[in-house]
Amino acid sequence: MKKLTCMCLLIMLLPACSNFVIEPVLDIDMPLNQSLFAYDGIMMSEKDIFSLSEKQETEFFNEYAKLLQKGLARHEALAAYLQRLKNNFTFYGETNVAQKSFSEKQGNCLSLSILTTALTRLVGLETSYREVTSSPVFQKNNNFISSSSHVQTIIYDPNFVPEKGLFYLSKPGIVIDYFPTKNSQQGPKFTFKKFLSMYYRNIAGDALMDKNPNKAFAYGEQALKVLPSSVEAINFMALLHKTQSDMKTSEQLYKLGMSLDKSNIQIIHNYMILLAKQGRYQEVDFYQNKMNSLDNPNPYLWLEQSYQSSENPEQAEIYYKKALQNAPYLQEAYIGLAKIYYKRNNKKRAKEMVENALKWSYKKEEKQLYKRKLSLLSALNT
């Protein structure tokens, strides 16, 4: 289960041409077991999520006007305002609506991206979004493990006029990045519809970890209503039904998700867990072989699978190597392989992996740590 959490903000210039993914509009027969869940709480509407109070709007417009008076373009003024806001913003795991993020100056990266969207609506600026993956961070809560990624918001230049005879895949703009990290992987841009579905899925995930399956179902279902083709939301709902012991519906959802995205590593992994729980090991082997044959270019997805396969070092080794095929700079993968080889008493190979990690290390603390490991391995080999 993937959550969106972030820690800091960075503003970068976006080139004029960039790829863009349009989510397909599909008529999907969603196999949900409504009889298992009953939620009597209040569902947050789109207006609830992105609206500010009159007082907050006035406060924002006063500061925004001052930035415009300095000669900044509208999207530049908003980016400058967000940079100031970031300095007083406390980042932690909760997903807040725009009004709460504005008043309390806290929340995760999705919260700040929601607030950014609310502000762009006030000043009439166009936006899109992009999910960025980096080395996975895991959080365990009530036997559920969630991994983290983050969202960039792109604010487009309203004054851009394309030249005649030139084709542009995207207008130029400014990327608001709330979690800049070295060696991160940028995914394709996506629309507001997917962004809104992400919000509902995040709230559903929090509810599930808080042992509130009824709320989790309500928000998960809303995520699917917004974007029925969301494999991430389908994956979540399959997991939710599994927690309620409805293996039949869970399996139907996993198969639906895999039919929409045959190379989705997370949903294949979760389906294999369901199969193993039912003792269907031949099918587990089939999907394991399928996973091993995939050529997903995102190294962090393979790194995530490596961590989750820690009790199966042979399989973890395969995933670490897949990660390195796409990103030879991943120190985490080298260290993971070093631990595997060390446990196999292959000190020479373990030393080679630490040497590779050292080669790609740039931080003083990391270099010192890897050098100490090398010294210990060298002493063991003598």
pLDDT at residue 17, rounded to an integer: 35
- How far is 268 from 121, CA to CA, in rounded Å? 38
Contact by Cβ (8 Å): 5, 109: yes
CA distances from 315 to 22, 288, 296 (A): 35, 9, 16
pLDDT at residue 5, rounded to an integer: 39
Helix (H, G, I), strand (E, B) or coil at 261: coil
- How far is 229 from 250, CA to CA, in rounded Å? 17
pLDDT at residue 63, rounded to an integer: 96
pLDDT at residue 188, rounded to an integer: 80
Q: Where are the alpha helices (DSSP H) in the chain?
A: 46-50, 54-69, 74-87, 98-104, 109-123, 192-209, 213-226, 231-243, 247-260, 265-277, 281-293, 299-308, 313-326, 331-343, 347-359, 364-381
Strand pairing report for 127-133 and 2-4: unpaired
- Provide the 10 A C-beta neighbour count for residue 378: 11
User: Which tokens is 134 given?
Assistant: 């980096």
pLDDT digits (tens, 9 = 90+) for 84-131: 888 888 877 788 999 999 999 888 888 889 999 999 999 999 999 988
- Provide the 10 A C-beta neighbour count for residue 298: 15
pLDDT at residue 86, rounded to an integer: 82
Residue ranges in the chain whose pLDDT is less than 50:
3-20, 138, 140, 142
